[in-house]
Amino acid sequence: MDIERSISALNNPVRRQILEWLKDRSNFPPALPGHEDLEGVCVAYIQEKAKLSQSTISNYMGLLKQAGFVNAERHGQWTFYRRDEKNIQAFLAAVQDELLKS
């Protein structure tokens, strides 16, 4: 739990928006054929919704991953990103601790 890296990753409205979108798979187009069982969303779908360049979104997802907010799973040529709820909880607990604990 690197709080520095996590806050830095959250310090951008598009990255926060992506984390919100990822709460619900139905914010994106249907899964690609053969990947219906996967929870995650590919970079191209996220890019389309965020309306930023492919490289920017790839970079953003890398930052969110380093911060622990998402997991990446490669399947063939696609990387499927999904929220890591456990780490998100852990982050919230850590911030709460830092801001409130005596």
- The pairing of strands 41-42 and 70-75 is unpaired
Q: Which two tokens stand for residue 77?
A: 């040529």
Q: Which does 62 bind (CB under 5 to 8 A by kind): a copy of itself, DNA, none?
A: DNA
Least Å distance between CB 83 and DNA? Answer: 16
Which positions lie near DNA, rule CB under 7 A? Answer: 8, 11-12, 14, 42-44, 52-56, 58-59, 61-63, 72, 74, 76-80
Nearer to a copy of itself, 8 or 71 (CB): 8
Output 47 or 91, the one with its CB closest to DNA: 47
> In terms of CB distance, is 22 or 61 closer to DNA?
61
**Binding partner selected for residue 74 from DNA, a copy of itself, none, CB under the kind-specific 5 to 8 Å limit:** DNA
